[in-house]
Amino acid sequence: MNNANNAQLKTHLKGVPLFSSLTDDQLVMVAQTGVIRRFAKGQVILNQSSPGDTFYIVISGHVKVVLLHEDGREIVLSLLKEGNFFGELSLLDNDPRSATVIAVEDTTLFMFTKRQFYQLIETYPSILKKILKEICVRLRHADEKIESLAFLDVYGRTLLALHRLANDRGIITKHGIEISQAPTHLGLSIVVGTSRETITRIIAVLRKNKTLIMYKGRKLIMRKYNDGLFP
């Protein structure tokens, strides 16, 4: 990778929370360690149960982490955006991949081999602490998802999914909490575990009661609660 590409990548990495404690010189070293790879929309990045030997950071685009059933159905565990990472579990426990990851749109990833990953966390222990903290967050979200599937009806699960989107990606504006690049109705139905038609009906109800100000295309605006934050 030439100096111009290294400088551009360093700029991207500077915005990655995982590397927030690193200096510019350290970011240059990190940029020289991994490799860039681009994936087209719909392309499978890694498969569930395959060997895990790579750590990924999303530089641009979005990916979804899913469990695939043999009949073609899928359960979306999470949607990851620029600055998020995945692939760490198999590197830490040496077990196969626990889920499949698919590009939701054209996506650029920064990748480390297993050896490079261990060198990285040994050189910069602060990165490992952040990885472990993120694993804890994802476990809590998984617990919430299991609880919602067990105890909430489809309306409650939809509301919970929208609140999580607002908390994770929302920007407070004068109109409400705005989420750009929100999932489509089909994408939201996959996250919730219901049909697109059901989601469309629920969205109509949420718009009628003003919980949703707008949901058009990939742009979503929700009404603010508690000074803009959801419980």
Structure confidence at residue 230 (pLDDT): 44
pLDDT digits (tens, 9 = 90+) for 92-113: 988 999 899 999 889 999 999 9
The closest alpha carbon to 213, from 223, 204, 205, belongs to 223
Structure confidence at residue 149 (pLDDT): 65
CATH architecture of 152-222: Orthogonal Bundle (1.10)
Structure confidence at residue 174 (pLDDT): 85
* CA distance linking residue 144 with residue 150, whole number of Å: 10
**CATH number attached to the domain at 3-148:** 2.60.120.10
Domain with CATH 1.10.10.10 in the chain: 152-222
DSSP 3-state of 35: strand
Structure confidence at residue 145 (pLDDT): 72
Averaged confidence pLDDT in the chain:
85
* CA distance linking residue 60 with residue 12, whole number of Å: 9
Q: Torsion angle of alpha carbons 213, 149, 200, 107, nearest 10°?
A: 80
Structure confidence at residue 15 (pLDDT): 83
Domain with CATH 2.60.120.10 in the chain: 3-148
pLDDT digits (tens, 9 = 90+) for 38-86: 999 999 999 999 988 999 999 999 899 988 877 777 777 888 889 999 9
Alpha helices in the chain (DSSP H): 3-14, 24-31, 88-93, 114-123, 125-151, 154-169, 185-192, 196-208
Structure confidence at residue 169 (pLDDT): 80
The type of residue at 7 is A
Structure confidence at residue 151 (pLDDT): 62
